[in-house]
Amino acid sequence: MDIIEDTVRRLKHYCEIDSRKLKEKLSEEFINFYRLTDRIKIIESLLKVAKEQAIQHSKVCNGPKNCGTTENLALSEFYLVQELEILGINTGQEIIDLPEQTNLNEKLDKVLQEIEILKLGNEIIYDDLKAEIEELKELYFLSKKNWKQILYGKVMDMTLSGIISEEISKKILSIVKEDIIKFLAN
């Protein structure tokens, strides 16, 4: 098993039950990881887990204002974002919150549906594009501005490298411009 995945597996339950213990254990684990990229991967994975747990818990929570689990999950997210900032990842003031993430995921899935219609024998291109869009969905810890810049960069890179045609690029950007960019401008 991958050591990073194993570390995340050992720590993820703290997100929900004891956010302060998560912070403590994370510091202990980082003694074993010298590379910043490894630490960032662990934090990003834990942040994703905390957000997923928060979504699942919100569906069954009767009193979120007085709920220890809700509080632990919120504190876990807060601590993990702080850890990213300590490592030099500028998450920015305006983080993409859970409702925004859901909306963006829907918009990105819409992009994939639109592009799937165009794929007609270009499965490799579609698969590459799908992988890039799925990667974007993992970058919500970034600020809205940085996330948008990465989106533009990915589209530009795929166009210049020939992975997607200019026609497909224009199609993506038109969908993005209409749906996502207005959303991110808030």
Residue 62 domain boundaries: 3-86
Q: Do 72 and 115 sit in the same domain of this protein?
A: no
Q: In the block, which residue shows the tokens 């989106």?
A: 151
Average pLDDT over residues 16-25: 90
What's the pTM value of the predicted model, to 2 decimals?
0.55
Residue at 109 is within a domain:
yes
pLDDT at 21: 93
Q: Do 131 and 180 sit in the same domain of this protein?
A: yes
Q: Is the pLDDT of residue 39 over 60?
A: yes
Q: Do 51 and 111 sit in the same domain of this protein?
A: no
Domain count along the chain = 2
Residue at 159 is within a domain:
yes
| Alpha carbons 183 and 178: distance in angstroms, whole number | 9
Average pLDDT over residues 20-34: 91
Query: Which of 2-6, 27-31, 66-70 comes out lowest in average pLDDT?
Result: 66-70
